[in-house]
Amino acid sequence: MSRKSNTKGLSAALAFALVGISTTLGASSALATSNLITQSDGTRVQISSNSTSSWESAVNFNNFDAMRFLPTSYPTTVVINMQAVWNASAVNTSGYDCYFYNGQAATWVTSSNGLTIAKVGADSSSISCAVTATAPIQAELEIGSARTTGNFGRVRFMFPSLSSGGSGGSAPVSRPAATTKYSGPEILAVDTIRPIVSGGTLTFTGKNLSAVSSATIGDKAASLSFDTTKGLTIGTPAGLAPGKYDLVMQSSFGKLTHLNAVTIKAPTPTKTINFKGDGEYLNETQVSELVAFNSSLNSDYEKVRCIVNAADADVAKAIAIRVCAHVARGEARNVEVIQDVRSSYQGSGFWVRVYAKG
């Protein structure tokens, strides 16, 4: 199963899975089927994959399961085979095709960043896609008939740097002995997969990330800062429009490209609500105001601070718990909640102030 699970909006009706194929479009698979599952987020469907090309199960930079192919030279072409199942019944994939997703243009494409893809064949129960890579890269392919809920899925894959160094050209490159390991940069995880604002930062952890000498996002230079404890922090350039961007990293081992690695969102405005109350409890009107405030929030909000001040600290704490419970739910259920309890209020009653920030 994938290391990260994003099941937001998933219902039993969206339990759509692709299973590996032992024989694909007339070509016998020499590899045992390996179920590489990408969790559905309510739009994409779950998929598994198989290939007769040499590959192994690995984890990509976002900590998801991926197919890591083992080429001996670049350019290289692999064929990835898939079969679809919906509620235990085979899906007719004869109308499906193979694509990459261009996040900036919000459209399907058949070539991107040195990658090309083409449908090898498809029938009522299976589809095969040929992917050609000209250099090391981490990316995703998508199959489907339309990029709408329940009609497409994706496979994550990786083409690593050659252990013998360099890439390109058609001359075969011998793979070193099994005791020789690739020692270049390897990204294993990122601190957040949520969209960030332009100018924000992402921190990556992995191996030998100190070797990264420069990076670009959307053809703009990104700042770099490496810390042996925290990892490699990349500052996104200012002025990027909302959308998905590739992360291109340079090191002495070559260029590493991660397609759609960075998602930029528009700045999220801070929202506030405040009121005073009598006694020690929220009344019906105040609860209605909090519910309305919650309805104005969306999934872009990341933090909610509930400040409650009352003469009695225990009363303030109890009210803060209730206030945050009304605000941090629905679209805002995954926010970081901070309860700020104060007891400097003079007299009876209390006051409440809530901040929601993106």
- The string of pLDDT tens digits covering residues 285-330 is 999 999 999 999 988 888 999 999 999 999 999 999 999 999 998 8
Number of Cβ within 10 Å of residue 88's Cβ equals 7
Query: Residue 13: pLDDT above 50?
Result: no
User: What integer pLDDT is reported at residue 235 of this predicted model?
Assistant: 93
Kindly report, residue by residue over 237-260, the tens digit of the pLDDT.
Answer: 999 999 888 888 888 877 777 778
Mean pLDDT within 273-290:
93
Q: What is the pLDDT of residue 123?
A: 84
Question: Rounded mean pLDDT of 38-43?
Answer: 56
Least confident of 52-56, 264-268, 295-299, 316-320: 52-56
- For the domain made up of 12-159, the CATH class stated in words is mainly beta
CA–CA distance, 110 with 85 (Å, rounded to integer): 25
As assigned by CATH, the class of the 271-357 domain is alpha beta
Reply yes or no on whether the pLDDT at 171 is more than 60. no
Percent of the chain with pLDDT over 90: 33
What is the pLDDT confidence band of residue 34, given thresholds at 50, 70 and 90? very low
- Highest averaged pLDDT of the listed ranges 60-69, 93-102, 285-294: 285-294
Evaluate whether 186-265 and 271-357 have a shared fold.
no
2.40.70.10, 2.60.40.10, 3.40.50.300, 2.40.240.10: CATH of 186-265: 2.60.40.10
User: Which contiguous run of DSSP H or E holds residue 355?
Assistant: strand 350-357
3-state secondary structure of 203: strand
Select, from the ranges 95-99, 121-125, 162-166, 254-258, the one with the highest average predicted confidence (pLDDT).
95-99
Q: Over pLDDT 70: what percentage of the chain?
A: 78
Based on the number of CB atoms within 10 Å of its own CB, is 262 exposed (0-12), middle (13-18) or buried (19 or more)?
buried
Q: In the chain, what are the domain boundaries?
A: 12-159, 186-265, 271-357
Q: Is the pLDDT of residue 70 over 80?
A: yes
Count CA within 13 A, CB hemisphere, residue 247: 26
Residue 23 zone, left/alpha/beta (φ > 0; ψ -120 to 50; rest): beta
Selected residue with higher pLDDT from 174 and 266? 266
Q: What span, in angstroms and rounded, lies between the C-alpha atoms of 289 and 251?
A: 54
